[in-house]
Amino acid sequence: MASNRNRSWPGLILLVALSGLFISPFVWMLSTSLKHESRIFSRPGEPPQWIPTTEKMDAEGRRLVTYQGQTGADLGRADTGRHALLVDGQEIQAWPEEFEIQQQLGLHWQNYVSAFEMMDFMVNLRNTLFICFSAVLGTVLSCSLVAYSFARIPWKGRNAVFVLCLATMMLPYQVTLIPLFALYSKLGWVGSFKPLIAPYLFGTPFYIFLLRQFFMGIPQDLSAAARIDGCSEFGIFARIVMPLSKAALATTALFMFLFQWGDFLNPLIYLQDSRQYTLAIALQQFQSQNESAWGPLMAMSTAITVPIIALFFLTQRTFIQGIALTGLKG
């Protein structure tokens, strides 16, 4: 906003300060994904380490340690529990707390290798994208139609249906899961992508509500003028309201994409073969009771998050653009 430009300094400082708070989880995730397992959690009383380090090794692959100010190589643990250290050509026995393992800045890329080895990334990605795109397409089309009805056509019973639509969001999923599954099972849809996509082709309350709020803000004069020109209701929807709502439609598409990208419960319940699994389930499998190896887990989290960060970064203009009504009124 032009009106804000001259006062942007305090705001900018606040922005920078706050962004540190908001970016920290991502930075932490990224840094953890590049750490060796042994370096992920700090000792009690110490803050977490943000910069990944690895152990220094000598030419023969032995860890380098600092023992009484001198550098030595760790030859391994003896039966006594002490470590044999090679310091200055001399072999010394020392308890683990008497020496320090030397660290250097180093990225542990192995986490990414193990993460990709443990999942079928390309297959998971294809499944995820298929579900995301079909659900986004269906949601944008159907929700805009329904929202138009709720926002711009004054029909009898409209408010009741609108409240009903909102009300369906108010029941916790846990109690509708069983009958819903039974329904899909009767239809023979279990084990396919259909239960993950079909419901979204008919409109989702959250996005209907969102679009309704935006459609309400479009001046009625525009519709009235078009109606006088002989435009049908669908014509007004397609030629006036939709083009003016690109920002809201883009927001809808983005949110639906994000939801489908991250949802694991529905795919887990309805899919019956690991070749159908999505990225989110692959992540979930990692995190499940067994084998919660933090390094690869965070590597995979990063791999799953980065594409949507890129998506948001590249498209954020679109859905934050105004409908540029300046001059239409007043």
Nearest CB to another protein, comparing residues 86 and 301? 301
Among 22, 59, 88, 229, binds another protein (CB under 8 A): 22
Amino acid in position 144 = S
| Distance in angstroms (rounded) separating the CA atoms of residues 245 and 225 | 18
Among 165, 196, 253, 256, binds another protein (CB under 8 A): 165
Nearest CB to another protein, comparing residues 23 and 88? 23
Residues 200-239, interacting with another protein (CB under 8 A) = 201-203, 206, 208-210, 213-220, 231-235, 237-239
Quick note: the x/- pattern for another protein over 67-86, rule CB under 8 A, is ----------x---x-----
Task: From 49-57, 64-72, 85-93, 264-272, give the range in contact with another protein by CB under 8 A.
Answer: 264-272
| 89 touches another protein (CB under 8 A) | no
Nearest CB to another protein, comparing residues 98 and 107? 98
Nearest CB to another protein, comparing residues 88 and 275? 275
Task: From 54-62, 84-92, 107-115, 139-147, give the range in contact with another protein by CB under 8 A.
Answer: 139-147
Among 84, 87, 107, 247, binds another protein (CB under 8 A): 247
* In the complex, minimum distance from the CB of residue 23 to another protein, in angstroms, rounded to a whole number: 5
Nearest CB to another protein, comparing residues 60 and 156? 156
Is the alpha carbon torsion for 187, 188, 191, 192 positive or negative? negative
- Residue 246 near residue 215, CB atoms below 8 Å: no
* In the complex, minimum distance from the CB of residue 124 to another protein, in angstroms, rounded to a whole number: 11
What are the DSSP calls for 181-215, one per residue? Answer: HHHHHHHT-TTSSHHHHGGGGG--HHHHHHHHHHH
| Distance in angstroms (rounded) separating the CA atoms of residues 190 and 323 | 42
Residues 142-161, interacting with another protein (CB under 8 A) = 142, 145-146, 148-150, 153-156, 158, 161
* In the complex, minimum distance from the CB of residue 110 to another protein, in angstroms, rounded to a whole number: 14
* In the complex, minimum distance from the CB of residue 241 to another protein, in angstroms, rounded to a whole number: 10
| 325 touches another protein (CB under 8 A) | yes
Among 46, 60, 88, 229, binds another protein (CB under 8 A): 46
Amino acid in position 49 = Q
* In the complex, minimum distance from the CB of residue 125 to another protein, in angstroms, rounded to a whole number: 12
| Distance in angstroms (rounded) separating the CA atoms of residues 288 and 80 | 37
Is the alpha carbon torsion for 207, 209, 214, 218 positive or negative? positive
Place of tokens 């970064």: 313
Which H or E element spans position 54? strand 53-55
Nearest CB to another protein, comparing residues 51 and 161? 161
Residues 167-196, interacting with another protein (CB under 8 A) = 167-172, 174-185, 190-191, 193
Q: What's the token pair of residue 91? A: 């072999």
| Distance in angstroms (rounded) separating the CA atoms of residues 219 and 243 | 13
Among 279, 258, 274, which Cα is nearest to 125's? 279
Cα end-to-end distance, the chain, whole Å:
19
* In the complex, minimum distance from the CB of residue 315 to another protein, in angstroms, rounded to a whole number: 10
Amino acid in position 228 = I
Distance of alpha carbon 101 from its chain centroid, rounded?
A: 36
Question: CA angle, 311 as apex, 274 and 239 as ends, to 5°?
Answer: 110
